[in-house]
Chain A
């Protein structure tokens, strides 16, 4: 009898773990099949994952604080990416290169990110409970303003002297900018090779510092307040916490971090696609953290790291696996885009499903009390 109870409890626990980690398990299974199909060497896959981890992890980590504040996945990190791109256009025009260029880009983009984050925070406060869809639409709206700024204001109202980045008509920025001056500056500043795999130590140190910052931040008074707001807005307000201010602050922090993340991303890539680079940032980073086992209501550093590894392993492997399987690499390309959007849709569906179950449970409990 006792053994039976223990077995039931263990099975229950296993089912719970499986349910909570459905997405990472599914992706892991796909990878187990896709890696041999891709015919890629282990060294190549590890090298690619290390590069992509150092390139993307900072951006993915920027999503954690708004989740703590109960605002879900922050689609408006696109605003931070735009701030970074505006700063990078300026330093390219001025011809500031090297580590100074990266630091100046950080310096210029920070106030823009704060401003945009503040704006996003105010808007999201007016759409409590619908932050994600609002953030998604907000990123489209600000993208319009960004395009006006880059396509018309730069070169006309704001002088741009570098003809390499200016459109022939005399105003507006070209579609693609070569970032040769800052290309892989952070990657190569402190780095070493292990069996053909280049490890960008400085970038991993920066990412490590951000992880420490997040852990420390959670323990501060502000971190506790953000957590409390994330649990329940009404109780937080009752406790004297300025809920609106806390929510705005968490979005501002996330936008600033996303801005720095985009600078790290672009200096690694070495090319800025002025009108496109920022657009996919929100979807891909959110998909990555969800692949890592995060949900709309909970996300941590572990989710970000696991997600980055799994998601980018799939990015590396899927085109070649698709080519071997169907004879067309494009299938793999479609597949990873499908996974990105699919994972987000799946997580939202699971979240909605759980909420409905909890609501029903509450109703039953209330009914029993009556």
Chain B
């Protein structure tokens, strides 16, 4: 009887753990990618070029100067990679950043000029 109860408790615990894993790995986050001028801590980062963007190795469209791109991701750990475009040709100048999202961070805004210049606040998270 005790053995049966223990097995049941283990089974329910495993299901709970699976549920939490599915919740975390399936949670959707919306990412806005701005290629716009931004002023952070009295420093202005200007948008000078167009960029090709990959998020988690998924190719997004080219984000032109002054434009905003949008994508949706699931899970917590992500990678953004951008490559500068000059005269409509990829230049090979790549920048890569990794970021981690919490469950309640539903909307994220990434500013490309700030990211390329390694500004601390290149990623703004909106809690919802």
A: residues with CB less than 8 A from B are: 91, 94-101, 103-104, 107-108, 161, 181
Contacts and interface: CB of A to CB of B under 8 A. Distances in A.
B116 interface: no
Given A107-B15, A107-B22, A96 B27 contact: yes
B23 A161 contact: no
A82 to B, nearest CB: 20
A334 B27 CA distance: 42
B91 interface: no
A104 B26 contact: yes
B26 A96 contact: yes
Interface in B1-45: 15, 18-19, 22-23, 25-28
Given A107-B15, A181-B28, A94 B22 contact: no
B74 A98 contact: yes
Smallest CB-CB A-B distances: 9 pairs: A100-B26, A96-B26, A104-B22, A95-B28, A100-B22, A97-B28, A107-B19, A101-B26, A100-B25
A91 B23 CA distance: 9
A217 B28 CA distance: 39
B106 interface: yes
Contacts of A103: 18, 22, 26
Contacts of A104: 19, 22-23, 26
Contacts of B22: 96, 100-101, 103-104, 107
A95 B27 CA distance: 6
B28 A96 contact: yes
B128 interface: yes
Nearest to A106: B22
Given A95-B106, A98-B74, A107 B18 contact: yes
B11 to A, nearest CB: 12
Contacts of B18: 103, 107
A12 to B, nearest CB: 55
Contacts of A96: 22-23, 26-28
**Interface residue SS majority, chain A:** helix
A185 to B, nearest CB: 10
Interface string B69-82: 00010100000000
Given A96-B26, A104-B23, A104-B26, 9 more contacts: A94-B27, A95-B106, A96-B22, A96-B23, A98-B26, A98-B74, A99-B26, A100-B22, A104-B19
Interface in B39-78: 72, 74
6 contacts: A94-B23, A94-B27, A97-B74, A104-B22, A104-B26, A107-B19
Contacts of B23: 94, 96, 100, 104
Contact of B128 (A91, A99, A161): A161
A102 to B, nearest CB: 9
A99 B25 CA distance: 10
B119 to A, nearest CB: 29
A30 B37 CA distance: 68
A91 B22 CA distance: 10
Contacts of B72: 97
- In this complex, the member of B25, B26, B27, B128 whose beta carbon has the largest number of chain A beta carbons within 10 angstroms is B26
A181 B27 CA distance: 10
Contacts of B74: 97-98, 100
Contacts of B19: 104, 107-108
A185 B18 CA distance: 19
A282 to B, nearest CB: 28
A107 B11 CA distance: 13
Nearest to B128: A161
Nearest to B12: A111
B105 to A, nearest CB: 11
A98 B22 CA distance: 10
Nearest to B15: A107
A60 B10 CA distance: 33
A308 B39 CA distance: 62
Contacts of B25: 100
- In this complex, the member of B19, B23, B106 whose beta carbon has the largest number of chain A beta carbons within 10 angstroms is B23
B51 to A, nearest CB: 26
Contacts of A95: 27-28, 106
Contacts of B106: 95
Contacts of A99: 26
